[in-house]
Amino acid sequence: MSSPPITDTDTPPAAPAPAPTKASERAARFAALKARQQAARTSNLKEAAAEAARAATDPNALASLGRKHAIAAHKLLKAETADQGGDFERKRAWDWTVEEAERWDRRVEKKARHKADVAFQDYTQDARKVYKRKMKGLKPDVEGYEKRKMEAIQRAAASGGLEIVELSDGEMVAVDRDGSFYSTEGADAMGSKPEKEAVDRLVADIKKAEEVRLKKMRERRRDQDDNEDVTYINQKNKVFNEKLKRFYDKYTADIRDSFERGTAI
C-alpha cells in the first residue's frame, strides 16, 4: 500500500527568527566601525604615498618644503639664542658671506617698501601699482622696443625727418619736423608694431579682467534684495552702512519717517 503524497500543507512551520539582542547589535556596530577604520587607514596610506610621490617630482612642493624647513630652523635658532642670552643677528651672520648679507638686506628693504606701499594713498599711486602688476604678468619686451625706437629715431634724424634738440636741463628730445614720424603711418617705421604673441597676451588679459568684473557684478546683484534701497557704492560701503544702521537706526527712525512723509521737521 503506497503512502499518501506530501503536500505543502503537511510541512511543519518554520521557527521564527530570534530577535536581535543588545550584544549582537553592539557587535554589528563594532564590526562596522572596524570596517570604517580600515577603509580610512587604507585611504590615508594611499594619500601619503601620493603626497610623497608628488613631493619627489613637483618642484613647487619641494620649494614649499624647503621654505618650511628654513622657517623652522630660523625659529629654532632664534629661540636657542634667546635662551642663551646671545645676539641672534650676529650669530646668524656667521654662516653668511658678504654678498649673501647684502642681498638679504636688499630683500628686507624691498619687502618693507612693498608693505608700506600696500595702503591706498591716491589714485595715481594705485594706477601705478596696477600698471606694474600688469607689466609683470604680460612681460612685454620693453628693452627690445626701446632699442628699435632709438634705432628708428637715429635713422630719421640722419635722413632729416627728426631734429635732436637739447633742452635747458640737458635732456635730449626729438622734434618731428613734418609730423610724419609720430603719426599712425609711421608707427611701423618707429618699431612700435607689437608681435602677434604680445597682442594675444594683451587680449587674454583684457578678457580675464572683464570676466572678473562681470563675476563681481553678478555677486553684487545676487546679494542685493530687489526691494531694498541701494544706499551704497560697493560692498565695503554696504557693510559700513549696515553697521551704522544697527547702532543708530533707533535714534534716527523718526527723522527718516518724517523725510519719507515729507513732513517738515
pTM over 0.75: no
Flag whether 9 is in a domain. Answer: no
Predicted pLDDT of residue 182: 62
- How far apart CA 72 and CA 78 sit, in angstroms, is 10
CA torsion sign, 172 to 177 to 179 to 180? negative
Query: How does 88-99 read in b/e, with b if 16+ C-beta sit within 10 Å?
Result: eeeeeeeeeeee
State how far Cα 167 lies from the chain centre. 46
Give tens-digit pLDDT for 225-251: 666 777 788 778 888 988 988 888 888
Residues 157 and 146 both lie in one domain: yes
Asked if 181 and 252 sit in the same domain, the reply is no
Sole residue written with cell 642670552:
85
Compute the distance between CA of residue 220 and CA of residue 215 in angstroms, rounded to an integer: 9
Portion of the chain with pLDDT greater than 70, in percent: 79
Burial class (CB in 10 A: 0-12, 13-18, 19+), 181: buried
Indicate whether 179 and 215 sit together in one domain. yes
Torsion-angle region of 85 (φ positive above 0: left; ψ -120 to 50: alpha; else: beta): left
The predicted model gives 108-117 an average pLDDT of 79
Render the burial of 19-35: b for 16+ CB within 10 Å, e for the rest: eeeeeeeeeeeeeeeee
**pLDDT grade, residue 43 (50/70/90)?**
confident
Question: Are residues 128 and 223 part of one domain?
Answer: yes
In the block, cell 599711486 appears at 125
Does 209 reside within a domain?
A: yes
Helices (H) and strands (E) in the chain, counts: 9, 2
Q: Residues 251, 210: one domain?
A: no
Range of the domain at 67: 30-90
- Look at residue 98 and tell me if it is in a domain: no
pLDDT digits (tens, 9 = 90+) for 141-194: 888 888 887 887 777 777 777 777 777 777 777 777 766 666 555 445 555 677
In a domain, 95, yes or no: no
Please state which of the ranges 2-16, 74-88, 106-120, 217-231 shows the lowest mean pLDDT. 2-16
Number of domains in the chain: 3
